[in-house]
Amino acid sequence: MNFIESLILGIIQGLTEFLPVSSSGHLELAKAIQGGELSGESSMMMTVILHFATALSTVVVFRKDILEIIKGLTSFKLNDEFKFALKIVLSMIPAAIVGVMYDDIIETFFEGQILLVGSMLIVTGLLLFLADRAKKTDQKVSFSNALVIGIAQAIAILPGISRSGATIGTSVLLGVDREKAARFSFLMVVPLIFGKMAKDILSPEFMNTFSNQTGNISISSYGIGFIAAFFTGILACTWMISLVKKSKLSYFSYYCFIIGGGAIIWSFV
């Protein structure tokens, strides 16, 4: 994978992580179009690193909110900040369980499964289409909502299911205020991404992937992708919050239908 290809993947990740169109699905499509023959391990590694970059983007955009969550957890007082922090923790449980128990199976989904990606993009489009027609409310995320949203996030591990689309769409269908839904969606993924990175760094396979440059991905390629994803992620995150407030999810549903349909056709060509 060369400099330009890594840059393109980084930009795609930065834009699509926060827009409800599935960043992992777009990354898999981009890899297939580029024709890179990556092993599941290398492909997954690049995906994780790019997700780490956009997690840092989230930290930058929501730094004040994150500080409030940390203060809430460390205060041990039953205030709004502490309750919100508990909801974030609760929402992480389903995806954490799936990630730990089915890590090897998940890796196989990142081996050019274009038909799967296309099908899941259609599912994402349907969810966004329905969510855009839900009534607007001013409700906050409840503890039961947090668990259901967490299950949606766990399902979004599949490439083609948009994580932000699944969590925001599910939140809105549950009656949560759109802006609150977007805020919760972006914040709930940060601990999971950092946890995933820590798990990978501590694993024996991590350094082997870099030292052997499996799939012809060099350390510099990882770095270029990371930088591109980080800066485009900051822009996309800010933009997405504005779009959700204005009820523009249906536009993304049409986009998912088109790209998903194209991916399905591509898989049979």
Q: Which residue has the higher pLDDT, 191 or 167?
A: 167
Q: What is the DSSP string of 190-258?
A: HHHHHHHHHHHHHSHHHHHHHHHTGGG--HHHHHHHHHHHHHHHHHHHHHHHHHHHTT-HHHHHHHHHH
> For residue range 97-154, what is the model confidence (pLDDT) as tens digits?
987 787 777 767 666 678 888 999 999 999 999 998 888 888 999 999 999 999 999 9
pLDDT of residue 39: 46
> For residue range 5-16, what is the model confidence (pLDDT) as tens digits?
788 888 988 888
> For residue range 191-236, what is the model confidence (pLDDT) as tens digits?
877 777 777 667 666 556 555 554 455 678 788 989 999 999 999 8
Alpha carbon separation from 54 to 18, 25, 231, 234 (Å, rounded):
8, 15, 8, 8
Q: From CA 20, how far away is CA 266, in angstroms rounded?
A: 22
Residue 187 has pLDDT above 70, yes or no: yes
Averaged pLDDT of the chain: 82
Mean pLDDT of the region 24-42:
65
pLDDT of residue 151: 96
CB 224 within 8 A of CB 45: no
pLDDT of residue 192: 79
Query: Taking Cα atoms as reference points, which of 229, 256, 197, 185 lies closest to residue 57?
Result: 229
Residue 42 has pLDDT above 70, yes or no: no
Residue 13 exposure: Cα atoms within 13 Å on the Cβ side: 31
Residue 248 has pLDDT above 50, yes or no: yes
Q: Which residue has the higher pLDDT, 212 or 244?
A: 244
Tokens of 21: 């169109």
Q: Which residue has the tokens 């599941």?
A: 40
pLDDT of residue 112: 64
Amino acid at residue number 206: F
CB 127 within 8 A of CB 165: yes
pLDDT of residue 179: 87
> For residue range 74-101, what is the model confidence (pLDDT) as tens digits?
777 778 888 888 999 999 999 889 877 8
Residue 72 has pLDDT above 70, yes or no: yes
Mean pLDDT of the region 57-71:
87
Q: From CA 20, how far away is CA 3, in angstroms rounded?
A: 27
Q: Backbone phi, then psi, for 40, in 5-degree steps?
A: -60, -35
pLDDT of residue 258: 95
Residue 44 has pLDDT above 70, yes or no: no
Q: From CA 267, how far away is CA 50, in angstroms rounded?
A: 25
CB 229 within 8 A of CB 15: no
SS3 of 118-162: the string is: HHHHHHHHHHHHHHHCCCCCCECCCHHHHHHHHHHHHHCCCCCCC
Tokens of 227: 């930088």
